[in-house]
Structure 1
Amino acid sequence: MDRLLVKVRDRLGMAAAVVCLDEDDQLHSQCRDSTMAACLGQGTSFASLARISPRPLIVADTALDPRFWLDPLVTRAPHIRFYAGVPLFAGADRPVGLFSLYDQRPRSADLGQSLGELVSEVMSIAAQRRARQTITQLQSKLTGRIGELDALASQVTSNLELFERASATARIGVWQCDLSGEVLHWTDSVYDMFELPRGSQLSRELALQCYTDASREALQRVRTEAIRDRTGFNLDVEINTRKGNHRWIRITATLDCKDGEPVRIFGMKQDITEEKILADRTRYLAEFDVMTGLANRGQFQARIDQNQSGALLLIDLDGFKQINDRFGHHAGDECLKMAARRLNDVCGQAQLVARIGGDEFAVLLAPTGEQTSARKLAAEIVRHLADNFELGGVDLRPSASVGVAFANGQSPDDLFKARRHCALCGEGGGAKQVSNCGDSRSPSGKSYWLRALAVCQSFKSCGMNH
């Protein structure tokens, strides 16, 4: 800009050339002497009048123009005698500054064409200058935005790392499937669950191969229903990983629709293997005897409450206390385990085989109407439990008492009354003695356990061969 003003000033032989730019409140001037430079600013009467003039303002001789002949810049130093001013426009109606020429001599008023050419050149330079300023400002803003985006990207990366670490700790991963091409996307945690290399190429066919047959069928069913009904689902499934490990996965799914049409299904997968094992273990402990693996008293009682028909065999290990006293609790535990194994072997067709007390067992048979079959099974149990077994170099020959009762829709409480009645009938009866104990009824006369055939065979001592 300054070089252009020097060029204009010298070409026209003027004392000063000035450009005032409003947008940045800057004054650019080139004057022949410092006195004039100090006097010429945006607030002169010449500049003020030129800004509102509809045409370029040209004053050939200020001393002869009544608008200016008393102006201090005319009557005193620097004694301005000529002025020309043209507003600078960036658009049709928006002035951005003023271009002015000053001289200390009167000049010709016929400078319109020359001023027009000069103004065009000044405007071109001013436009370039504004463009550079705009570029500089945009670059500055862009630099700031880049910095913000870098900070945001860093935060996102940090959050993703934190999410992945939290997901790995909780064994949770995110998945999605684009329905248009059945394209799968997994986070690293899901890859780890299936023991596939992170970032490896995925397909639904490959993923479905990892599911057990039952889980695959269940997943396909609930997925189809969710897409059809525009809903989601929750499902626990079994998988065999690509390395052959068995796991349980909990899948949650949500459907994403566009214009009412399903476009994507997504959700989370969580490894619940330990939770499943713990739940199964808890359920097992609630229903089974830990030592023998048979059903426990709780499960036995529940089955009796549900099924008040059929036959029931109650078994006592005779002489069990003597085994404990003589050989210790370890021997007693092994005796219980042996009895459980032999009962399972003999009672393969039973509805339930349970340990209901210390040395007491129970066998629940399905209602067949054949009392003879139940008595035969009782005799088989006695024979099998009486067989020797070796423990630490000692042959043990346990014995057992078996009571048989037949139900007819009665209360389970009277079962134990019948069982006690059976046991009492068998006491002292000697080996291989069968007693009929008659009917067992409640005081009200309601028939409970109609018949109790007790102690098919009773061996009252614990034989031990050294």
Structure 2
Amino acid sequence: MAIAGVGAWSCNLADNKLSWTLGIYNIFGLPIDTVPDRQLAVAMYADDSREEMERLRAHAIDRGGIFTLDAQIKRADGEIRWMRISGEMVRRAGRSPILHGLKQDVTEGKLRSQALRRMAENDALTGLANRAVYESRFLNARSSAPSFAPLGALLLFDLDGFKGINDRLGHLAGDACLRVFAERLSANFPEALLTARIGGDEFAVIVSNREPDAALNARVARFLTQLRAPIFWQQHMFTIGATSGVAAPNDPYFYDPEELFIRADAALYAAKRTPGRAGASISLK
């Protein structure tokens, strides 16, 4: 079992005394002579995993039955691992009740699963969420049950002069341009609920309502100004710009995602057609 990354455990509920097989010590990265201690083990759990484990444990103790959980831990050597916990509540006549079960190291499987999910959900060039994720998590959500709430605004960005860069310097330069834009976009909106590449040179950012409208407008304007910092690529130097369109819902908890997109898109293309524009068009509420 230890070679397979599996260990058995039990906890006497009368005194919370633990019993482990070798596999559990290996999962936690603890020496075999360590006295099993619940407080020590629980402290190694990531916060979310710890809360869920304690909830399932309490439910099993209260109502009986079994539970299963994939939990993230930080081993004694600092390495982050995943383990799958299965547990069962057992009450025996004349003896203390116990929780017992198995723990299995599932880190490699988790990493493979996460890699496959990133490939399916992320744009390969920029690393941002792709259009499929944008549509499934936002655009196609029902107004009665939106995915993002409270929602502050939908921001759309379209690069200026992107075709010219492709035509003059080639598609590799265009790719470099898109990557730099994505990096700058993520850096300027680090707390965004979702940042996605939704087209060739089109991007969307969804933000919460923590920031007042005026502050958001100012931040978008600053981003568009800072965006013009030069890009160096294979002995070439060029700049990129962008136009934005922003739409905010009247109610951050109940809104029509498609209607927001239509408004933001209209604001963006109105700005594109505006002579002497500053590169941003804001349509709030």
Q: Same fold (TM over 0.5)?
A: yes
TM-score with structure 2 length normalisation? Answer: 0.74
Residue aligning to 1:177:
11
Q: Once the 2 structures are TM-superposed, how far is the Cα of residue 228 of structure 1 from its aligned partner? A: 3.6
TM-score with structure 1 length normalisation? Answer: 0.49
Q: Which has the higher relative contact order, 1 or 2, with Cα contacts under 8 A spaced 6 or more apart?
A: 2
Of the candidates 321, 328, 335, which is equivalent to residue 177 of structure 2?
335
SS class of match (1:168): coil
Q: Distance in 2 between matches of 1:265 and 1:272?
A: 21
Q: Distance in 1 between matches of 2:260 and 2:39?
A: 59
Aligned: 1:394 with 2:219:
no
Contact kept, 8 Å, 2:245 with 2:280, in 1: the verdict is no
Of the candidates 92, 95, 118, which is equivalent to residue 258 of structure 1?
92
SS class of match (1:292): coil
Q: Once the 2 structures are TM-superposed, how far is the Cα of residue 270 of structure 1 from its aligned partner? A: 0.8
Structure 2 CA distance for partners of 1:210 and 1:361, relative to 1, 3 Å: closer
Structure 2 CA distance for partners of 1:190 and 1:363, relative to 1, 3 Å: closer
Aligned: 1:383 with 2:229:
no
Q: Once the 2 structures are TM-superposed, how far is the Cα of residue 277 of structure 1 from its aligned partner? A: 2.4
Structure whose residues are more often helix by fraction: 1
Q: Once the 2 structures are TM-superposed, how far is the Cα of residue 335 of structure 1 from its aligned partner? A: 1.3
Q: Once the 2 structures are TM-superposed, how far is the Cα of residue 384 of structure 1 from its aligned partner? A: 2.2
Aligned: 1:412 with 2:246:
no
SS class of match (2:200): coil
Of the candidates 123, 146, 151, which is equivalent to residue 289 of structure 1?
123
Q: Once the 2 structures are TM-superposed, how far is the Cα of residue 421 of structure 1 from its aligned partner? A: 7.3
Amino acid of the residue matched to residue 225 of structure 2? R
Q: Once the 2 structures are TM-superposed, how far is the Cα of residue 350 of structure 1 from its aligned partner? A: 5.1
SS class of match (2:128): coil
Contact kept, 8 Å, 2:73 with 2:81, in 1: the verdict is yes
Identity %, equivalent residues: 35
Of the candidates 200, 220, 225, which is equivalent to residue 358 of structure 1?
200
The answer for unaligned runs of 5 or more in structure 1 is: 1-163, 437-450, 454-466
Of the candidates 70, 84, 91, which is equivalent to residue 236 of structure 1?
70
Amino acid of the residue matched to residue 423 of structure 1? Y
Contact kept, 8 Å, 2:195 with 2:206, in 1: the verdict is yes
Of the candidates 193, 215, 220, which is equivalent to residue 27 of structure 2?
193
The C-alpha deviation readout for 1:8-32, integer Å capped at 9, x for no partner, is xxxxxxxxxxxxxxxxxxxxxxxxx
The C-alpha deviation readout for 1:337-363, integer Å capped at 9, x for no partner, is 211222234345655432211111123
Q: Distance in 1 between matches of 2:211 and 2:32?
A: 63
Amino acid of the residue matched to residue 254 of structure 1? E
Q: Distance in 2 between matches of 1:381 and 1:303?
A: 23
The C-alpha deviation readout for 1:228-259, integer Å capped at 9, x for no partner, is 43333222222222322211111111233221
Residue aligning to 2:53:
219
Count of residues in correspondence between the two structures: 272
Q: Distance in 2 between matches of 1:434 and 1:241?
A: 50
SS class of match (1:415): helix
RMSD: 3.8
Task: After TM superposition, list the pairs within 5 Å mapping 1:49-448 onto structure 2.
Answer: 164=1, 168-169=3-4, 171-179=5-13, 182-198=16-32, 201-259=35-93, 262-301=96-135, 302-304=137-139, 305=141, 306=146, 311-347=153-189, 351-366=193-208, 376-405=218-247, 407=249, 409-410=255-256, 412=258, 415-416=261-262, 419=265, 422-423=268-269, 426-427=272-273, 429-432=274-277
Amino acid of the residue matched to residue 57 of structure 2? R
Q: Distance in 2 between matches of 1:208 and 1:411?
A: 41
Contact kept, 8 Å, 2:242 with 2:279, in 1: the verdict is no
SS class of match (1:202): coil
* Rg larger in structure: 1
Q: Once the 2 structures are TM-superposed, how far is the Cα of residue 311 of structure 1 from its aligned partner? A: 4.1
